[in-house]
């Protein structure tokens, strides 16, 4: 039986809130399902609350609201924060990506999350509503 996890896009006001919303959707109140892009990708690979057989759907309701909240401006802020914690060998790239995002260029956090879901679970797992 397919399990459906619902993300209420109206609750996603930035990346920190996204981590809370997806964690609670999959693992209940206070649940964890990643707190950064790499951890989120790892969680989607299994063993962190989703069915072992991979039979689940992520239904992202009001996704357009999330797309706005996780747009270029927020992406630029996020990448700068990540750069501050990153290994020195990655800082230049992250600063450049942040600058591009600040100019409204390149993928947004929303784009990256959608890509991660589709890459880790398959094209039919994500339903953008």
Q: What is the pLDDT of residues 37-60, one digit of tens each?
A: 999 999 998 889 999 888 999 999
Q: How many helices (H) and strands (E) does the chain have?
A: 6, 3
Domain 1-71+108-129, CATH number (from 3.30.2000.20, 3.30.370.10, 2.60.40.1220, 3.40.50.150): 3.30.370.10
For the chain, list the strands marked E by DSSP: 3-8, 56-61, 126-128
pLDDT of residue 87: 96
Q: Report pLDDT digits (tens) over 74-101.
A: 999 999 999 999 999 999 999 999 999 9
pLDDT of residue 60: 98
In the chain, the percentage of residues whose pLDDT exceeds 90 is: 93
pLDDT of residue 47: 85
- Residues of each domain in the chain carrying CATH 3.30.370.10: 1-71+108-129
The CA distance from 113 to 92, in Å, is 22
With H, G, I as helix, E, B as strand and everything else as coil, classify residue 105.
Answer: coil
**Of 45, 39, 43, residue with least CA distance to 25:** 43
Q: Report pLDDT digits (tens) over 63-79.
A: 999 999 999 999 999 99
pLDDT of residue 121: 93
pLDDT of residue 45: 87
pLDDT of residue 52: 86
| pLDDT-derived band at 4, boundaries 50, 70, 90 | very high
């Amino acid at each position: 039986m397919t399990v459906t996890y619902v993300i209420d896009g109206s609750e996603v006001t930035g990346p920190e809130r996204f981590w809370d919303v997806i964690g609670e959707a999959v693992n209940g109140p206070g649940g964890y399902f990643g707190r950064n892009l790499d951890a989120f990708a790892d969680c989607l690979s299994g063993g962190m609350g989703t069915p072992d057989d991979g039979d689940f759907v992520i239904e992202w309701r009001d996704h357009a609201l999330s797309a706005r909240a996780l747009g270029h401006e927020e992406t630029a802020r996020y990448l700068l924060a990540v750069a501050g914690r990153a290994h020195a060998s990655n800082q230049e790239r992250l600063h450049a990506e942040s600058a591009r995002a600040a100019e409204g260029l390149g993928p947004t956090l929303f784009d990256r999350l959608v890509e991660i879901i589709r890459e880790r679970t398959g094209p039919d797992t994500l339903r953008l509503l």
